[in-house]
Amino acid sequence: MRFYQGQHKFYAGLDLHVKKMYLCVLDSQGNKVLHRNLNCDGASLKRALEPFLPDLVLGVECTFSWYWLADFCRQEKIPFVLGHALYMRAIHGGKAKNDKIDSEKIARLLRGGTFPLAYTYPQEMRATRDLLRRRCYFVGRRAELLAHLQNCFSQYNVPSPNVKMSRAVGRIELAKLFEPESVQRAVAADSSLAEALAKEIGQLERYLIQHAKLDDPLAYQLLQTIPGVGEILALVLLYEIHDMTRFESVGQFVSYCRLVACAQESAGKRLGTGGRKIGNGHLKWAFSEAACLLLRDSEIAKRWVDGWEKKYGSRGRALSRLAAELARAVYWMLRRKQPFDQARFFDDHHDDRPAGKEEIEA
């Protein structure tokens, strides 16, 4: 967990909603100099903050509507910090809760140096990252439609045709294989929607690949040097990581990817692990996929995983370790601007070494 440690003359805490936002401004001594409910627009906020500029910092909890606020602060040259929602929820214990109280708590956390930081994704690549996430959502919905098509054959005990459901050609005559008209309509609807989604997904992928080649062509090419990582998986890694220099250590990056278990201890006793939901779930998925694809394309990777499976007694744990090692490799690849070296990768990780101190503390 990282905290904001900047020193300022004024500290503004904002409890942000869609139509309204509650603003609390504290001076360096902790006295309230403004506490007001405002409309969600830049003009109202600018008028409220103007008396306290230029030595003011603005903090807000990470919600879905923070984009415009970050862009406003950047335009007005106001330091903006984004609070980690999960950490702030743990800190915000209180008997009473409302927007007025929350805004003051945010301001006091900011002034006291206990404001937990989240990453403020910059405006230049933010919209493209969100479009990529939307593409992943469409892929999931298309997979659900294809799975339902396959389930229809099992449900009505109809022999499944020897065709690939993911291809439009294989879905043309599927509805005619069922006798009930309602089932025919359901199968036809699934096929039609799957086709429409496939067309839209293809267009989005072409657009995203073009943008990746403009936003960071070197990193995009380096990520594709990992065996099994193609254009789409490299897109996810590129836009979810954005800038590897924001991670101070490799352990911090692997922890951000949800690929290490963080120990919980009290009075010298280990109570288990926690924090599995804290981090980037998209990177967790991407590195897990990359591990499976590397296993498919590399014989040395298969032997490596087989060795760890014997040690752990679980193939899932062995694959999780491979995913974590891939994340470490990607960290150094992007920091050093070097392609993936498969021989060096498996040579560096053939021995049974415990996790480094930086990885345990991440």
* pLDDT at residue 353, rounded to an integer: 40
Look up the domain containing 134 and give its range. 125-215
pLDDT in tens, 304-356: 999 989 988 889 999 999 999 999 999 999 999 999 998 888 886 654 443 43
**Banded model confidence at residue 360, pLDDT cuts 50, 70, 90:** very low
Which of 167, 189, 215 is a domain's end point?
215
pLDDT in tens, 233-243: 999 999 999 99
* pLDDT at residue 285, rounded to an integer: 96
- CB distance 35 to 24 below 8 Å: yes
Which of 180, 215, 250 is a domain's end point?
215
Indicate if the pLDDT at residue 253 is higher than 90: yes
Q: Within this chain, do residues 208 and 269 fall inside the same structural domain, yes or no?
A: no
Only one residue has tokens 């007025």, namely: 100
pLDDT in tens, 173-183: 788 888 888 98
How far is the C-alpha of 318 from the C-alpha of 313, rounded, in Å? Answer: 9
Q: How many domains does the chain have?
A: 3
Q: Within this chain, do residues 258 and 177 fall inside the same structural domain, yes or no?
A: no
Asked if residue 315 is part of any domain, the answer here is yes
Distances (CA, A) of 311 to 102, 113, 306, 314, 353: 49, 44, 9, 8, 13
pLDDT in tens, 98-114: 899 999 999 999 999 99
